[in-house]
Amino acid sequence: MKSSTLKPTPDSNPCSDWGVEDLDSSRSEVVETILTAFFKSSVDHAKKARELIIKKRKGKL
């Protein structure tokens, strides 16, 4: 997975890189939804973040 900086053109949907263009959502709606899901879940987010960082460093992401 490549990391990229979101730089929407004036005629593009700023959320199209996130795969939510069909929802016609604003970037703030997407961020709010992600944060809501993050805080309402029972996952150990620090552990999951650590695992993702390790995988990314090993080139497995």
Could you give the CA distance from residue 7 to residue 17 in angstroms, rounded to a whole number? 10
Name which of 37, 3, 4, 30 is nearest 15 in CA terms: 30
Q: What is the pLDDT of residue 1?
A: 46
Of 59 and 30, more confident = 59
pLDDT in tens, 16-48: 555 666 677 788 888 898 888 888 888 888 898
Task: Give how far Cα 13 sits from Cα of 2, 4, 6, 40, Å.
Answer: 20, 16, 11, 28
- pLDDT for the residue 5: 54
pTM of the model: 0.38
CA 13/CA 9 separation, integer angstroms: 8
The amino acid at residue 29 is: E
